[in-house]
Amino acid sequence: MANPTLIAQDTPWRGFTFDEIEERLLASRGLTNDSTTGRTVATTAEVTAAKTCLKRAFDLLNARYPSLFADRYYSFTWTSGDHSVALPANVMAILGVTWKGNSLRPMSTEDYYKELRNDEAGGDTGAEGDPVYYRVTGFSDEDAGAAAGDRDWRIAMRLHPQPASAEAVVVQYLALSSDFTSVEGDPIFLFPFMQGWALERAKELWSAENGDSAIQSVAEAERLKHEMDIDRWLDAGVKKASRLSWRFPNVTSRRGGRYR
């Protein structure tokens, strides 16, 4: 009898493309982008509304499950003489920063105002050297164009003390959702069951805008089912104690003895 051949890798279902999930959202309201289906062809305004609700849903998915498909790293070389930098456009929240491989601490408001004290009081915010802290100071517009309304908002991060040299910096952060503008015909880069969550959430958003409580309540119920499955899947990856046993302390007979 020959040894069985094990299946090492197979081809998984990658889920929907953005075009396909958009079609499923339109179908929930009796609309379509395909005239051969027999449903009413969606107007331009309806297609725009569907895309907007889907993108909002994917953005909310990153907020609901920030540790999945939202963890990113940004590596760059610091420009000598600069005190701050504009981060990538998709940065939602900074998780950590390293300078030359050394971890920097987030700077609290109290820490910052301590640095504003003079030298005698232990401050000196104007010092240069290897930074110890990082902090978000606001945001900047990095768009170089002159077109009205054209903006490229970026989170601005500053290091303290001000770096005195050009060194390697790595920023770990949680990302905003992609806008899927250039990949509408490609599979959405999420687990298929998370795509289902986004679809049902988009139905909720669109139904809420149109005052359709019937579709909204059905979509909410389906989305909660997706959440239960996703939460179970997340819980399965966490090792938990399988048994809990109690033990009473032993009392020693020596004077001044303690429970041990």
Choose the weakest-confidence range: 19-28, 93-102, 141-150, 224-233.
Answer: 141-150
Domain ranges (residues) in the chain: 18-68+178-231, 71-175
Give the CA dihedral 13, 14, 19, 21, nearest 10 degrees: 80
In this prediction, residues 44-69 reach a mean pLDDT of: 91
- Where would I find the beta strands (DSSP E) of the chain? 31-32, 40-41, 71-77, 84-86, 91-99, 102-103, 105-106, 133-141, 153-160, 168-175
pLDDT tens digit sequence for 90-138: 999 999 999 999 999 999 888 888 888 766 555 555 567 789 999 999 9
Is residue 236 scored above 50 in pLDDT? yes
In this prediction, residues 192-201 reach a mean pLDDT of: 94
Choose the weakest-confidence range: 120-124, 236-240, 244-248.
Answer: 120-124
- Which pTM was predicted? 0.76
Residue 181 is predicted with a pLDDT of 75
Instruction: DSSP letter for 216, please.
Output: H
Give the pair of three-digit tokens for residue 252: 């020693």
**Average pLDDT of the chain to the nearest whole number:** 86
| Type of residue at 72 | R
